[in-house]
Structure 1
Amino acid sequence: MVYKFDSVIAKLKQGLIVSCQAPVDSPLHDPIVIAAIARAAENQGAVGVRIDTPAHVSAVKQRCTVPIIGLWKQQIPGYDVYITPQFAHAAAIARAGADIIAIDATQRQRPEGETLSSLIQQIHRELGKPVMADVDTIESAIAAVAAGADIVGTTLYGYTKQTTHLSPPGFELLTQIVEKVAVPAICEGGIASPQMARQALDLGAYAVVVGTAITGIDYLVKAYRAAIS
């Protein structure tokens, strides 16, 4: 069966996607709170939200109408891949109501011998959902598109061993993706101001994801406190 994902992806075009997440030890890490934050983002014009865990996706689905990019962060012993690393995690996110499934698409070893291509194909075939490939390098982006990814995001730029010396936002990576791959490129990571979001779109980003600068209360308060102490 061939699935058409253009309609849901088109809703994100040239828009702001707000990542509504919180540390697990934060009082904000509550489905009701995350859903309220997501709804507030939608009320102010966000074209989509990015949500972690099935419980949070389910809660947001009940309050929001914009597309949900769903993921499930899982630490698997012996592997560095952690954003929706296996099909079971993708299936749980889809059942909860995610419209797009975000996965770690770096070229790091995957658990249980599962390949990136087989994971994406299974998500397409069994869940009928488009896949956002979170990458760290242009090589990962090209490989992800070859494996069938529908969208590519700069999400993991600066967060892998290969890119740990680099600091988000990955504008250089974004430019390379825009030039070298045929699917929409989403700029995510390190966008700290409206001006930076505008710059990402000017560089060719299909859409921009902003998280900490909008919803990262725990991190922001800690940073302010450290600066004034």
Structure 2
Amino acid sequence: MGENFLEQVKGKLIVSCQALPNEPLHSSFIMSRMALAAQLAGAAGIRANSVVDIQAIQDEVELPIIGLSKVDYPDSSVYITPTLKEMRAVAATGAQAVACDLTRRKRPNGEQIADIVDQMRNEFPETLLMADTATLEDVKLANELGFDIVGTTMHGYTPETAGKNLADNDFAYLKEVLALSDAPVIAEGKVDTPAKAKRCLELGCHAVVVGGAITRPLEIASRFVQAINE
């Protein structure tokens, strides 16, 4: 399953179809139709949040899925598939890959990511594990733990990387990640134009994930309104 997934998405676009409860398009049905639109446009894969959204998308399209589950816990700032419970639930959907936060921050319930990885390898040996990283130190940890995919998902979204953008200085940070990572790198995080997506692939990324620029009309419309108002 893993090799097939990597083969299917190599050099191509993965569309993130996600809407949180406070967003206008929060609906498994709507996300499934977003995924269908992505498939019709020629996307090679989908990134989806929550078991119900993943299942709805699986009913609608045949594209491979990177699954995750965003859950807030009071004792941790880690929210992307933060515990073994969420990892198991996402893997049980049959999603080809499961993504989780790998930012070295304290995890909920005192869980250790190394233990989670070991357990997942035992229970779901066919499921790829994707590390959502923010820094080069996170990428080193992904190497140590043997993650199958390294994503740049959290770069710009943690306290130490706040305000940073993957495209800064002609993707200087991404180039460092590509040089350091033992696993295929999937570029993700503020890749908001076709030109940026293409550049990520030209630099050697295995695939590129685009979300907000395609599937979040509130964000898209806000940029137009802001530009007009300025």
Give the whole-Å Cα distance in 1 for the aligned partners of 2:28 and 2:174: 32
Note the C-alpha offset of 1:95: 2.3
* Residue of structure 2 equivalent to 1:140: 138
Match of residue 107, structure 2, among 89, 110, 113: 110
Q: Which residue of 2 aligns with 1:126?
A: 123
The 3-state SS of whatever aligns with 2:47 is strand
| CA drift at 1:132 | 0.6
Distance 2:17 2:69 in 1: 13
Q: Which residue of 1 aligns with 2:213?
A: 213
* Contact preservation (8 Å) 1:185, 1:205: yes
Q: Counterpart of 1:50?
A: 47
Other structure's SS at 2:159 match? coil
Unaligned runs of 5+ in 2: none
Q: Distance in 1 between matches of 2:116 and 2:8?
A: 25
Cα deviation per residue 1:16-48 (whole Å; 9 max; x = unaligned)?
000011232334111111001101101221110
The sequence identity of aligned pairs, in percent, is: 37
**Is the 8 Å Cα contact of residues 2 and 97 (structure 2) preserved in structure 1?**
no
**SS of residue paired to 1:152:** strand
CA contact (8 A) 2:166 2:174 kept: no
Give the Cα–Cα distance (whole angstroms) in 2 for the partners of residues 75 and 19 of structure 1: 20
1: CA distance, partners of 2:226 / 2:161: 27
Per the TM alignment, residue 186 of structure 1 is displaced from its structure 2 partner at its CA by: 0.7
Question: For residues 125-144 of structure 1, what are the alpha-carbon distances to aligned partners after superposition, in whole Å with 9 as ceiling and x for unaligned?
Answer: 21231101000011101111
Measure, in 2, the Cα distance between the counterparts of 1:173 and 1:90: 28
Structure 1 residues not aligned, in runs of 5+: none
| Cα distance in structure 2, aligned partners of 1:140 and 1:18 | 24
Over the aligned positions, Cα root-mean-square deviation in angstroms equals 1.5
> What is residue 10 of structure 1 aligned with on the other side?
7
The 10-residue stretch of structure 1 (87-96 or 21-30) with the greater mean CA deviation from structure 2: 21-30
Q: 1:41 aligns with which of 20, 38, 43?
A: 38
CA distance in 1, matches of 2:190, 2:24: 23
In structure 1, C-alpha distance between the alignment counterparts of 2:211 and 2:167, rounded to whole Å: 12
Q: Which moved more, 1:191-200 or 1:162-171?
A: 162-171
Q: In structure 2, the residue corresponding to 1:103 is in which secondary structure?
A: strand
Aligned letter for 2:61? C
Query: How far 1:191 sits from its partner (Å)?
Result: 0.9
Q: TM-score, normalised by structure 1?
A: 0.93
Q: Distance in 2 between matches of 1:165 and 1:191?
A: 14
